[in-house]
Structure formats: structure tokens, C-alpha cells
Chains A and B, each alone.
Chain A
Amino acid sequence: MKVYLLCLGLFCIGLYCILRKRNIIKIILGFIIAEYAVNLFFILAAYRMEGRSPIFAPDAKIVNMVDALPQALVLTAIAIGLANVALLISIALRIYDKYGTFDITKIRELRG
């Protein structure tokens, strides 16, 4: 149970970073932290106490294995997260080119 709560804590730290920080890079870092928290939670949800790796051998019984599916899914989720972060960072670089700052309070031309 404690690990799940830690995961939740990590997620909240990420959300806090996204909502409260002013620096674009810190917002991106917050996004990455929140994303890792979700991925970690996915892996933990698949873990079984005293489980073994899910490899099927002719003499092995199918008991006590950890769930293998989430591990495959998390790989996909990590790849998607990478694409998201790469996009965010490339936009951040372009923003720095145009505005000369990473401070979001100074990058506020759109409002209303």
C-alpha cells in the first residue's frame, strides 16, 4: 500500500510543478515526473507478492507469475511520453528563440 501512496505523491509533485512553476523547463520536468509516476504505478499494479518472471517453460507451473501485459503496455506509454516530451522541448527551444526567456509570466501575449 505504501508504494502506491508514494506513487501518488510523485504524481502530485509533478502536477504541482506543472501548475505552480514559472519556468518552462521546470514545467516540462514536472510533466516528466507525473508521467513516470503513472508508468511506475502501472508496473506496481502488475506486481504480485513473491512473484516470479513470467517465462513459460515446459516444466513450470503457471502460478505466482507477475502480470506480463502491463510491462508491454508501459513500454508503449514510455515511447509516447518520449514523443510528448520531445515535442514540448522543441517548442520550448523555439519559444526561447522568439521571446528570449523561459519565464511564462513574460510570455503572455494571448489572453481574453
Chain B
Amino acid sequence: MKLFVDIIPLFVAVPMAGAFLIALVARKIKWLPALITNIITIGLVFVSFFAVKLINIHKVLVYDVGAWKPPMGIGMVLDGFTVFMLTTVNLAAFFVAIYSINYVERFTSKWKFYTLFLFMIAGANGVVITGDIFNLFVFLEIASIASCSLIAFGTEKHDLEAAFKYAVMSGVGSLFILLSIVLLYSYTSTLNMADISNVLAQKGPNNIILMISALLIMGFGLKAGLVPFHGCLPDAYTSAPAPVSAMLAGAITKSLGLYAIFRIFYNVIGMNQALSSIFMFFGALSMIVGVILAIGQWDFKRLLAYHSISQMGYIVMGIGLGTPLGILGGLFHLFNHSVFKTLLFLNSGSIEYATGKRDLQKMGGLSEQMPVTSGTCLAASMAISGIPPFNGFWSKFIIIIAAVQAGRYGYAFLAVLASILTLASFTKVMKYAFFGKLKDGANSVKEAPFLIKLSMTSLAVICITGGILLAPGVYEHFLKEAVDVILEGTKYSSVVLQAVLK
């Protein structure tokens, strides 16, 4: 039973060890950092798949760090929701790592990029896997400090400005989160998430919970970039190197913001009608405001950044509904968004690699010169706008059906509206970037190198076949486990505390 429990800390330990190893050897052997990063990320993907299989058998596994039993010691919890997030994060990280091999050539100190990249993965995996709320804060900070430095990696004017904004905003978010952790600790006298849930259930409702909830929503909202708190995200996504934007949009905001918010509100504090309404309101607001701001953009990456905010709105609205179907739609959209938004940012990076441009008005006719980029971008655009066979269609469809079933017709209408506006703005992208006439001086543009093409094509294949995760036989193994964990609500505490004793 306890045989495979030792794989749990690997998700954090391996990338962190790799980061330090790279920092040690990189000056001697120039090609080693890229190799180490790719081996580690592909290894993490396989370990995540193995963890999915493990969870199908055992449901919940708890690893005691340093052999101190939770709730006294720090526990690492592996359950359905965790493995779902681990798979999403590590899959995105793997494709971005392949892509980076070619893309990072232009920077001077490549090994620093790979070191910070691995720290970012370690932080994101740590947030997802830990069962201790202060440990969650520590991993959150590892990931956000690494991502701040990566945004500033180009050290150009804009990069620095965006990185400063991002660092201040995410720092303030962390302070709110730390303050809420302090309040939670002084109210419950424990830091283990399962135990906190247990104590809260015994003590009953109290006003301090409202204060903690408000602080948590502000803190994690800043990390996730939901609409009232989205100020720094478009700048950061626009200025960062393309692989970093892809990682931020595909993995970091999801595990740092959305995963943490839903884990804490559903499994620790406990969901109620008021919180559900708040989430749905924030979700719908992000959805509409994000897409409206996106339509007018001419900078490709800034457009994608606003779409990222909009799609996060779908996820929050879906999971905030609280019905089984809504949660399924939200989680599935989380996975899909991670795939197609990573792909879109990689496409924008590929165009920037080939032409050095980000402005849509200055592109045009690239589909002949760059067939692979154009084709994969078309697949991703159709996925994000919800065209039927692609994965984005299924998840948006489920969210809309769930909203209708719950009697929330207004929210369902907003979701459809946002989807139509998304389609409109991606039609614009395809028209200006890839179709039409070639601009002067663009005849010499070449398609990006092999590894960039490989990474983009694989992601496009996932975009097309993603709907298979809903097929009977696959659904039970991956998505259903995650949905079940969220649905069980505060029973999480007894499930985890029993798993500790085994």
C-alpha cells in the first residue's frame, strides 16, 4: 500500500535539484542545462501519468515529510484534483521546455533561464501537492519570485517595467495570503489543511471566516489575474519571453491562483451559496471584460493575455457554479485552456522568432512562409473559440449547459456572448497575421526550427483530440477523480486524516 508513496516528493525535489545542478555545472558544459531541463520535464510528465494510475487505485495518498506524521508535521497529499493539476502543469512545462531549446538561443546566459524555469516548475508543483497551508505559501513565493525574474529576463525597458509591476502586485497578493494564513492559524491553532477544515467544522461559523475569505479572494485573485485584480498581467505576458508567457498563462496562474483558491474554499473552508455567487460574478466579469479589452488589441501577445483573463473567467464561473456538471466543465476547461493558450503563446513566439514582430498590422501572409505555425495557430484559435471537434468546444459547452441546468440563464448567455466575441477576435488574428498579402521584406521569412515545430504540432494534436478525455473509459480515470475531490467538500479532512493513519 505504501509502496509508491515515495514518488510524491519527487515532483518538488527533482526540479529543485535540477535547478541547483544546472547552476553548478553550467559554466563548464554549455549544452547541459537544456538537456537536464528536458530530461526532468519529460520525467515529471511520466511520473504524473503514473500518479494518475496510482490515484485510480488508492484515491488518496499522504507522504509525511521528514517522517513527522500530519497534522503535526508537513504532509504532502496526492488526490484526484492534485494529479489532475500536476498533469496539466507538467505537460505544459514539457512542451515549453522543448520549445525553449531553440528559442533561448538569442539570450546570453541561457543557464539562468533554465535554472529559474525549473524553480518555477518546482514552485507550481509544490503548491499543488502540499497539504500544509504555510508550505503552500512558501512554494507560492518560490514560483512567483522565479516568474518575476523570468519576466525581466530580456532586461529591456519594457521587460523591467512589466516585471516591476508584476513583482509589486504579486508581492501584495502574497501579503494578503500570509495575513489570512496568520488569521487562520490564530483561530484554529493548526496549519495542516485537513486539520484546519476539521477544527473549523467543530467551531462553527464565525465572522473571522468572512475576513479570511475576503483576504484569500484578494490574494489569490491577484495571483490568478481575475478582473478587478488583473492590472499587471497583460504587461507581464506581453513583455516576457514567449516560453515564459506560455508557462505563466498555461501553468503558473492556474496552480498558484485557481488551484489554491478552489482547494481552500471547497475543501478547507467549505463552500456556500454566497461564495458561489461571488465566484460566478467574478468569473462572468473576467470573461466579458477580458474579451472586450482583447478585441481592440493589435499587439498579438497582449491580445492573448486579455483572452487568458477571459478564459480564466470561464473556469472560475464553471467551478463556482458548484454543480457536478459545472465543476466538470470548469476543470476540463482548465486543462484545455492550459493546452491551447500555451500553444498560442508559443505561436506568437515563433512569429517573433522568425520576423521579430508582435504587431498584427505589420504582419500578413505568413501562412505560406510558415505553414506549421499557421496551421497550429488555426487549430488553437478554433479550440479557444469553441468550434466543435476541438477540445475548447466540449468544455465551454458543458459550462453553458451547466449554467442553464442551474437556472442561471444570464450567466449562460454571457458565456455564449464571450465565446462569440472570442471567435471574432481570433478571426482578426488569422486574417491579419497569416492570410492576406505578404508585407514588403517578408519574403525571406523562414519557418521556425524543428524543435519549435515539434512542440507546437504536439500541442495542436492535443487540441484536436482533447475531447477524448470525456469519452467513457477515459473520463473515469482522469476528470472524474478530480471532480469527485471537489464535490466531496469538507469531507476532504476526514479522508486525508484517515489516509495518514494507514
Contact = CB atoms under 8 A, between A and B. Distances in A.
A73 B175 contact: no
Contact of B161 (A15, A95, A112): A95
Nearest to A31: B171
B227 to A, nearest CB: 16
Interface residues of B, number: 38
Interface stretch (B152-160, B241-249, B401-409, B477-485): B152-160
B238 interface: yes
B302 interface: yes
Given A18-B168, A38-B175, A112-B297, A87 B148 contact: yes
B72 to A, nearest CB: 10
A98 B171 contact: no
A73 B134 contact: yes
Contacts of A35: 171, 175
A50 to B, nearest CB: 18
Contact of B172 (A34, A95, A107): A34
Interface string B190-202: 0100000000000
Interface string B363-379: 00000000000000000
Interface in B170-209: 171-172, 174-175, 178-179, 182-183, 185-186, 189, 191
Name B's interface SS: helix
Interface string A24-45: 1001000100110010011001
Contacts of A24: 164
Interface in B113-172: 134, 137-138, 141, 145, 148-149, 152, 155-158, 160-164, 167-168, 171-172
A65 interface: no
B37 interface: no
B292 to A, nearest CB: 13
Given A35-B175, A45-B182, A110-B238, A95 B164 contact: yes
Interface in B466-485: none
Contacts of A112: 234, 297, 299, 302
B182 A88 contact: no
Contacts, number: 88
Contact of B185 (A11, A70, A84, A98): A70
Given A94-B155, A110-B238, A88 B160 contact: no
Contacts of A15: 172
Interface residues of A, number: 35
Given A73-B134, A95-B164, A110 B171 contact: no
B158 A110 contact: yes
B267 interface: no
Contacts of B172: 15, 18, 31, 34
16 contacts: A18-B168, A35-B171, A38-B178, A41-B182, A42-B178, A45-B186, A73-B134, A80-B174, A83-B145, A91-B160, A91-B163, A92-B164, A95-B164, A98-B157, A107-B161, A110-B162
Interface of A: 11, 15, 18, 24, 27, 31, 34-35, 38, 41-42, 45-46, 67, 69-70, 73, 76-77, 80, 83-84, 87-88, 91-92, 94-95, 98-99, 107-110, 112
